[in-house]
Amino acid sequence: MRVPLELTDQIENYCKKSGYRLPLLTGKVPAGFPLNATDHISEWVDMNQMIIKDPGSMFLIEAVGDSMEDDHIYEGDLLIADGSIQPRHGMIVIAAIDGEYTVKRFFKKDNAIKLVPANSNYPEIDVTDNMQFAVAGVVVRSLHQFSY
């Protein structure tokens, strides 16, 4: 489609913000015994508004390894992290240690910071003064692709 050059910025902005809407069906789906099925749409959910709260501070990063499997973060999952959220005790964070990223639970007591995996086969990381350390973001969602 041809559009006037002066409208390209407005169109690009619209496309970035409009996102996708998916139908939210009435009822709930039990993970136990089946219920009567209905296919009525109760509302439309804007996926941008649901997932992306602060586009300027959020990012995606792919999970690698199995150190967070007990928190249901698996190899290949896309993690959505928000750099504007201040990490609190027990939150899952993307941390940078000496230039390398890791995903772990964040624990802080007094001035001591500990990063804890969700798999007992991996050691906890005690953050020390001689490490270059920063929290890049707090994980707010994990996108898991089922492999069939």
Is 104 among the residues known to form the active site? yes
Among the listed residues 16, 28, 53, 104, the single catalytic one is 104
Among the listed residues 67, 84, 120, 142, the single catalytic one is 67
Amino acid code (one letter) for 130: N
Is 18 among the residues known to form the active site? no
**Which residues are part of the catalytic machinery?**
67, 104
